[in-house]
Structure 1
């Protein structure tokens, strides 16, 4: 498996600090507030759409019978709500053909 770099909260804050000129603490606070708002929206049942980036969608999954791949034993997988991400057309086009 490749060791690819990961964008983190502090990485986003550093980018805001460099490109916008916010202090490091203000930039980190802004990133935290944005992520908190997104989390709150998803927790309350709202989808989150970020123009030209993508949409975080809530999907309800029904309970089902699954199998332990190691033992083959059946187990009930409970109903749950999951978050999926659908990239915008622009984001998909930007990475078309990139491997």
Structure 2
């Protein structure tokens, strides 16, 4: 499902026009990116949590060049679905 599909589905189920829905979704995504960039988690009860996970520094090998390289410590975004979200997705 694409963002356009989501906008169309919300528009068909509500009386909100597509432009307002699009602006709302864009604002949500911007706020989510900004918050995660600052290291803040986002908790959506009944849906899940957007978190930042810290990955430790590690050694890796580039087998095509036969060299060892160090991948520095870094943060990655992570989504953890709520129990309700998991149970609902299993039923479908």
TM-score (norm: length of structure 2): 0.83
Q: Which residue of 1 aligns with 2:74?
A: 80
Structure 1: gaps (5+ residues): 1-6
RMSD: 2.0
Q: Which residue of 2 aligns with 1:48?
A: 42
Change (3 A) 1:96 1:71: farther
Compare the two structures and name the one with the higher strand fraction: 2
Q: 1: distance between equivalents of 2:45 and 2:63?
A: 39
Q: 2: distance between equivalents of 1:14 and 1:45?
A: 32
Structure 2: gaps (5+ residues): none
Deviates more, 1:38-47 or 1:9-18: 9-18
TM-score (norm: length of structure 1): 0.78
List structure 1 segments (4+ residues) > 6 angstroms apart after TM superposition.
none
Count, aligned residues? 92
- Indicate yes or no: 2:35 matched with 1:59: no
